[in-house]
């Protein structure tokens, strides 16, 4: 059998994120290019944070910073640095007027920017796992400013259905990026040798079903009876004679990336300690739910309400969440006796 030719070994016509964005822009007849520039600024922030995390331990930049963020979580040194990287990247882009960060108590308005977008982000989600080398990530939701707005809190206190884009970057063995602008989900992997995100998962779709559930069962003592009963039901033999398998990393981006790749169910229900749930709507629940729906999945709260239909009253409002493969989330919805738009 002849050896493969050089052309067969290497694909030289690769699609970088920059090329992908420019080609997508051409399909929009009324495009001004501002959104493309914003997404390019986001990818710069992801690359910067990725490289910072990879060398943090070598330069003794791990551990706690000695402070807490606005939601009460202890800040890692990298939380503070990641937040600073993200703020500067969005400010210098010139396309962002309003920024919401998990690490900041109030929203930030850039007074000298003429940008028409609002960005909400968790700069380093899962940072409590950093010192153990567990994958963490950045989660982002994007809104277009309201007509006539010069940048106020009302530009982000809106239902998730009004987002114009969402993405996350996961920093692990490789740096992965999943992006949606409302026309499906595309997945990219960072090639460190050329410094570019390469399209590897075009038009990514969630499997309809995979018997995997991801939930922090350490909180089960505080769950309501409905949640306890549902999880116990998943542990029973299913139609194929096998129960669901439990897979929980404790970093939402890592758990959700596995869910996107393989399918299954991710959940963080409310409990007696936090009846409204733990995940922040604007920069965790909304962007992940948007990505999930664009990939063919479902995202609801404990009551079976569609996550993207919710409207926050505060920039750090929280929600319970059940999201992932359509058939698996539908099992939960059926269990609680509700119906949800698919």
Residue given tokens 């096998």 in the structure block: 242
Q: Is 308 exposed, middle or buried (0-12, 13-18, 19+ CB in 10 A)?
A: buried
Count CA atoms within 13 Å of residue 76 on its CB side. 21
Residues facing residue 319 across a β-bridge: 279
Boundaries of domain holding 306: 212-336
Q: Does a structural domain hold residue 171?
A: yes
**pLDDT tens digits, residue range 2-60?**
665 555 566 678 999 999 999 988 877 667 789 999 999 999 999 999 998 888 766 55
Q: Does a structural domain hold residue 8?
A: no
Of 181, 201, 221, the residue at which a domain comes to its end is 201
For the cut 80, the answer to whether the pLDDT of residue 338 exceeds it is no
Residues facing residue 74 across a β-bridge: 68
Of 171, 201, 231, the residue at which a domain comes to its end is 201
Q: Which of 315, 7, 21 is nearest to 188 (CA)?
A: 21
Q: Does a structural domain hold residue 235?
A: yes
Q: Does a structural domain hold residue 117?
A: yes
pLDDT band at 342 (very low <50, low <70, confident <90, very high): very low
Of 201, 229, 257, the residue at which a domain comes to its end is 201
Q: Which of 208, 305, 320, 304 is nearest to 263 (CA)?
A: 208
Residues 149 and 113 in one domain: yes
CA atoms of 321 and 270, how far apart (whole Å):
8
CB 157 within 8 A of CB 315: yes
Provide the domain count of the chain: 2
DSSP-assigned letters across all residues of 129-159: GGGGT--EEEEEEEEEPPTT-SS-GGGTSS-
Residues facing residue 136 across a β-bridge: 171
> Which residues have C-beta within 8 Å of that of residue 211, sequence separation ≥ 6?
234, 238, 240, 242, 243, 244, 245, 264, 328
Give residue 77's Cα distance to chain centre. 21
**pLDDT tens digits, residue range 113-140?**
999 999 999 999 988 887 788 899 999 9
Q: Does a structural domain hold residue 227?
A: yes
Residues 272 and 161 in one domain: no
**pLDDT tens digits, residue range 186-208?**
999 999 999 999 999 999 999 99
């Amino acid at each position: 059998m002849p050896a493969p030719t050089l052309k067969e070994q290497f694909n030289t016509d690769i699609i970088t994120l920059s090329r992908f964005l420019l080609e997508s822009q051409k399909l929009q007849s009324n495009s001004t290019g501002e959104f493309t520039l914003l997404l390019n600024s986001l990818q710069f922030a992801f690359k910067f944070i990725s490289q910072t995390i990879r060398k943090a331990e070598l330069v003794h930049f791990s551990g706690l910073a000695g402070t807490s963020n606005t939601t009460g979580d202890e800040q890692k040194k990298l939380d503070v640095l990641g937040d600073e990287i993200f703020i500067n990247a969005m400010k210098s882009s010139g396309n962002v007027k309003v920024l919401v960060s998990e690490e900041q108590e109030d929203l930030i308005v850039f007074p000298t920017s003429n940008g028409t977008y609002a960005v909400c982000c968790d700069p380093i989600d899962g940072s409590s796992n950093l010192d153990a080398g567990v994958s963490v990530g950045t989660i982002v939701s994007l809104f277009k400013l309201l007509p006539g707005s010069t940048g106020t809190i009302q530009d982000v206190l809106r239902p998730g259905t009004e987002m114009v884009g969402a993405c996350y970057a996961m920093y692990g063995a490789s740096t992965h990026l999943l992006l949606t602008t409302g026309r499906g989900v595309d997945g990219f992997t960072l090639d460190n040798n050329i410094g570019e995100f390469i399209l590897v998962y075009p038009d990514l779709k969630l499997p309809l079903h995979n018997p995997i559930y991801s939930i922090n069962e350490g909180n089960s003592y505080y769950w309501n009876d409905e949640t306890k009963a549902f999880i116990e039901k998943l542990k029973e033999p299913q139609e194929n004679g096998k129960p669901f398998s439990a897979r929980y990393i404790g970093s939402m981006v890592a758990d959700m990336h596995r869910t996107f790749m393989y399918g299954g169910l991710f959940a963080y229900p409310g409990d007696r300690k936090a009846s409204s749930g733990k995940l922040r709507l604007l920069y965790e629940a909304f962007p992940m739910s948007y990505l999930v729906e664009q990939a063919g999945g479902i995202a609801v709260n404990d009551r079976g309400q569609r996550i993207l239909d919710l409207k926050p009253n505060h920039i750090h409002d929280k929600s319970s969440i059940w999201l992932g493969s359509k058939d698996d989330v539908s099992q939960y919805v059926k269990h609680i006796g509700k119906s949800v738009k698919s």
